[in-house]
Amino acid sequence: MGFWDRTHNLDRMTLPELVRAYFAYPAILAYLGLGIASYGLMIYWMEQPWRLLPAIAFALVVYPVVWYLLHRFVLHGRYLYRSKATAAMWKRIHFDHHQDPHNLNVLFGALVTTLPTIAIVTLPLGWLIAGPAGAMAAFGTGLITTCFYEFCHCVQHLNFQPRLRFLQRIKRLHLAHHFHNEQGNFGITNYICDRLLGSYYDKPRDVPKSATVFNLGYTQEEAARYPWVAALSGGTRSDDNPRRFRAAATVGGDAEAR
């Protein structure tokens, strides 16, 4: 059994163990490798270095906006699991993470969805700002920013109290998203969009406890109508318990806790 063929529980890992696992994960190695290659091409094609700064700044500004919009309106939307064609993708890229927030294996984004998104967002406007060098600058910045986001995301779920106030704050806000109310705090490291669009809450007492915080609205009733995710997941999750549930004899029936 390979390193990533088994579950890695962030609730039981130390920070050094996380760092080793982080730099062993294929997606992170891909981001880093492509990011370095992008910056290399940026330097090779660079003619006016000052023109690259707006391309880099654009990538840094647009990244949290795009992440917020995708997280809130696509990953927390209910149409992906209602289609057989997209149910497995939704299960992998977000449902599994909310089902088991401490499972490192499903915390990282899938390359098949992250790389095209980063490329579509950064390459065209980077090119408009500074040609091919600008495109590589924006794309490379998007990739390295993804690595930063992914590491912060890992720390947010790690059984570890950060010393930095920044990490303490984003950890508190993100865990509230996972364990209290999933309809707010969609940011990872940046919550400006949450503030601007009314989805920010500072403390759990500020908003009611969500009944769908662990299943994202994919209840047993929804599983009965749209069975594909339940068939792949072995059932649905209890509304008030983050433990996995065994599938009943029929999809949508009662489930029994492990």
Backbone angles phi, psi at 99, to 5 degrees: -65, -40
Check pLDDT > 50 for residue 258.
no
Q: Are 138 and 122 in contact (CB under 8 A)?
A: yes
| Residue 112: closest CA among 86, 73, 136 | 86
Tokens coding 255: 């489930």
Task: Report the pLDDT averaged over residues 86-94.
Answer: 94
3-class DSSP state for residue 257?
A: strand
Query: Residue 251: what pLDDT?
Result: 37
| Residue 58: closest CA among 139, 148, 149 | 139
Residue-wise pLDDT for 198-232, tens only, equals: 999 999 999 999 999 989 999 888 999 999 999 99
Check pLDDT > 50 for residue 82.
yes
Opening angle at CA 121, ends 18 and 175, nearest 5:
35
Q: How confident is the model at residue 248 (pLDDT cuts 50, 70, 90)?
A: very low
Residue with tokens 């993708």: 89
Query: Residue 2: what pLDDT?
Result: 57
Q: How confident is the model at residue 238 (pLDDT cuts 50, 70, 90)?
A: low
Residue with tokens 């940026």: 42
| Residue 220: closest CA among 248, 183, 258 | 248
Q: How confident is the model at residue 234 (pLDDT cuts 50, 70, 90)?
A: confident
Question: Which amino acid makes up residue 182?
Answer: E
Q: How confident is the model at residue 81 (pLDDT cuts 50, 70, 90)?
A: very high
The pTM score is: 0.87
**Angstrom distance (rounded) from CA 251 to CA 258:** 17
Query: Residue 206: what pLDDT?
Result: 95
Query: Residue 192: what pLDDT?
Result: 96
Residue-wise pLDDT for 148-186, tens only, equals: 999 999 999 999 999 999 999 999 999 999 999 999 999
Query: Residue 249: what pLDDT?
Result: 36
Check pLDDT > 50 for residue 1.
no
Q: How confident is the model at residue 250 (pLDDT cuts 50, 70, 90)?
A: very low
Query: Residue 181: what pLDDT?
Result: 96
Backbone angles phi, psi at 9, to 5 degrees: -90, 110
Q: How confident is the model at residue 48 (pLDDT cuts 50, 70, 90)?
A: confident
Helix, strand and coil in the chain, % to nearest 5: 65, 0, 35
Query: Residue 12: what pLDDT?
Result: 87
What's the chain's average pLDDT?
88
What lies within 8 Å, CB to CB, of 249 at 6+ separation is none
3-class DSSP state for residue 9?
A: strand
User: Based on the number of CB atoms within 10 Å of its own CB, is 216 exposed (0-12), middle (13-18) or buried (19 or more)?
Assistant: buried
